[in-house]
Amino acid sequence: MVLLITTICLGQRKYAAGKYFNEFAYKKAAELYQSIYNKGDNSYLVLSRLADSYYFNFEFDKAEENYKKLINSNEAIASSEHLFRYAQVLKTNGKITESDKWLLKLKNKNGNDSRAKALESNKNYFVEYSNRDKTYINIHNLSSNTVYSDFGGFIYNNNLYFSSTNPKTDRDKKLYKWNKQPYLNIYKAEQKNINKQKILDVEKATILDDLSSKYHESNIIITKDGKKAYFTRDNFNGKELKGDKNQVSHLKIYSTEKIGNVWGNIKELPFNNDEYSCGHPALSPDEKILYFVSDMPKGFGATDIYKVAILEKNTFSKPQNLGKTINTEGREMFPFIDNNHVLYFASDGHLGLGALDVFESKNKGEKFSQPVNLGSPVNGSFDDFAFAINNKHSYGFFSSNRKGGVGDDDIYSFIIYKCKENIKGIVTDSRTGNPIENATVQLINEKGKPISEQKTGQSGEYLFKKIDCEKNFVVLVSKKDYKNNQKRTQTLAINKQIVTENINLESLIIEDQIIINPIHFDFDLYNIREDAEYELEHIITVLKNHPEMVIKIESHTDSRGPRDYNRHLSDKRAKATRDYIISRGINANRIESAIGFGEDNLLNNCNDLNKNKCTEEEHQKNRRSYFYIIKGKNNIKVSNQ
């Protein structure tokens, strides 16, 4: 009898848990499913719903614990979404490698799963997204945030419009089953001026009473003329809450018009449906397209982003899915279009740092580009969403349930980092100090990519304007008949400052010679070393620049060793030098001669009598090669000593 009573009670409890789960009352569902599990029921249904209930209420530690139990005992039959959610909570809890392992296993369920494919094509994504260039700075938790859930953001007339479960009054605390919080209302708060520390905050928030019902209202957007707005509300007709065939109420998008100083004439948009949700409206810059989120049938994932054209007489086209470039098997939510037609949205289906991340995608005609993760500090291991930016692209807001906040969801402000500096300098001849005109100056970034190029003027000056601050660059200068030269430089963190890098170039042609650094040979050998090849390439460059030029080569040694031997060795070195130049495509008849003179023409007193008294540096001066120009000097602008 006791066993029978227990079985009946468990059955009743499972029924109640399922009903709460299907009504999205996840806190209550988690409580009941935990009780059922503790009684010994570890079935796939119980474990999956227990884990899902914790997942949807952002209790990620408990979600991980129960997904692990579910997958360990049911991996072969586990659904793609449960594998995905397990990977997500692992990532949110800092277990990146383990998360990636499970994400890749989605291929076993569906070989075309875009989430697994994305990971395969970019396995270094986490480091990349965690080290984005500085763009969004001075992240600040708004003073308007409460212990409840505050999220969303629309900027209009220096006001921030957002959604909050903060109750209208102390008496108005009817709780929503999903998260045991009051229902959402729309608030607005006036923006304060950005302070000296470049922090953006808002004044005290006030509720939009004229749009408030006893159910959810959120995500308002307002047209530029301020006469019309769109917002999300429960399927509430002003009298009763309507539901689908299972009595589940879905979200709908409504329009409202400004009548005097209040919002009125609230109308449901025609593409809404009682059987699925539509919400999170966003307008294109020309206000001819309305973007929104829906879980309507035949989408790509849990929720997708759609668009409709706004036609004459407040009619709308048929909803069109933005396609698989934007939408995934996961959730795409909270679209926002800036005045440059860039789409920002939140997703947990594209590769991210954990849970929902914010992405951007540029509009290309009828299509959008591959989304780019904004990276940290906007994105982190928890949900980050509802990104909005002002028209001047100087500041914005986003929402997050990251640790350290005031409530469940908080709104954060940020400032756009726009530090720019100029890099300038003068290019001069290293021997004469004269400015070099028409030299090519390239600015090369940290990845080795040239990002800008210009020619010097008569004064030898170059100027790169509006270069990003706090970056490392190389300034590379080249000029015909000169050796290239470069300088490493770094822009500072001081806006509109100037970094000066003057650069000297060494002329390769001085009077009747091509001048290069000394060519070194190994002791007692005459083969061309790698470092000698580098120097000889300068000779080859000059000869290619001047096809009519003919040269002769002379090679000399110091006085150490027998005189005849030195002459013989230097001659072999001269001819080895000649042979290398010819091997590089220079015609042999352009080298009149290649002769070694040994120690016959010393440049100092380090002769046979004094060679033991001379330093290595003094001997080195005598080990040299000359490249004399004997034809083709005409019309060459040379550097004089």
Q: What is the CATH number of the domain that holds 250?
A: 2.120.10.30
501 in the same domain as 513: no
Q: What share of the chain is helix, strand, coil (3-state, %, to 5)?
A: 25, 35, 45
| CATH number, domain containing residue 613 | 3.30.1330.60
Residues 317 and 458 in one domain: no
Give me the pLDDT at residue 365, please: 77
pLDDT digits (tens, 9 = 90+) for 106-127: 888 887 888 888 888 888 888 8
Residues 382 and 425 in one domain: no
Q: Is the pLDDT of residue 597 over 90?
A: yes
* 514 within some domain: yes
Residues 249, 214: one domain?
yes
Q: Which of 479, 505, 531 represents a domain boundary (last residue)? A: 505
Specify the pLDDT at position 82: 93
Asked whether the whole model's pTM tops 0.85, one would answer: no
| Crossing angle of the two packed helices 563-583 and 530-545, in degrees rounded to 10 | 60
Could you tell me if 521 and 570 lie in one domain?
Answer: yes
Write the DSSP string, 426-462: EEEETTT--B-TT-EEEEE-TTS-EEEEEE--TT-EE
What is the reported pLDDT for 173?
53
State residue 635's pLDDT score. 57
Q: Is residue 283 part of a domain?
A: yes
| Together in a domain, 388 and 439 | no
Q: Reply yes or no on whether the pLDDT at 5 is more than 50.
A: no
3-state secondary structure of 398: strand
Percent of the chain residues topping a pLDDT of 90: 61
> Does some domain include residue 118?
no
The label of the residue with tokens 């000056």 reads: 461
Query: For residue 259, is pLDDT > 50?
Result: yes
209 with 315, same domain? Answer: yes
Residue 317: CA count within 13 A, CB half-sphere: 13
| CATH for 86 | 1.25.40.10
Q: What CATH number is given to the structural domain containing 429? A: 2.60.40.10
Indicate if 342 and 360 belong to the same structural domain: yes
Least confident span in 43-57, 117-131, 135-149: 117-131
pLDDT of residue 16: 81
68-72, 177-181, 208-212, 322-326: the lowest-pLDDT one: 177-181
pLDDT value, residue 525: 76
Q: Which domain holds residue 230?
A: 136-416
Q: What is the mean pLDDT of residues 390-408?
A: 93
Residue 578 has what pLDDT? 95
pLDDT band of 637, cuts 50, 70, 90? low
pLDDT value, residue 112? 81
Q: Which two tokens stand for residue 501?
A: 């890098």
**Residue 239: inside a domain, yes or no?**
yes
Number of domains in the chain: 4
Q: What is the pLDDT of residues 559-572, one digit of tens each?
A: 888 999 999 999 99
* Claim to verify: residue 501 and residue 523 sit in the same structural domain: no
Give the pLDDT score at 132.
78
Q: What is the torsional sign of CA 382, 387, 392, 395?
A: negative
170 band by pLDDT with thresholds 50, 70 and 90: low
Residues 355 and 235 in one domain: yes
The residue from 505, 522, 544 where one domain ends is 505
- Claim to verify: residue 352 and residue 209 sit in the same structural domain: yes
Task: Tell me 246's DSSP state.
Answer: T
When the pLDDT of each residue in the chain is averaged and rounded to a whole number, the result is: 88
**pLDDT at residue 7 tops 60:** no
Residue 125 falls inside a structural domain: no
Q: Which DSSP state fits 274? A: T
pLDDT of residue 218: 93
pLDDT tens for each residue of 25-39: 788 888 889 989 998
User: What pLDDT is stored for residue 8 in this prediction?
Assistant: 38
How confident is the model at residue 10, as a pLDDT? 45
Considering 477, 505, 533, which residue would you say is the last residue of a domain?
505
* 217 φ, ψ (degrees, to nearest 5): -130, 140
Is residue 397 domain-resident?
Answer: yes
Q: Are residues 273 and 350 in the same domain?
A: yes
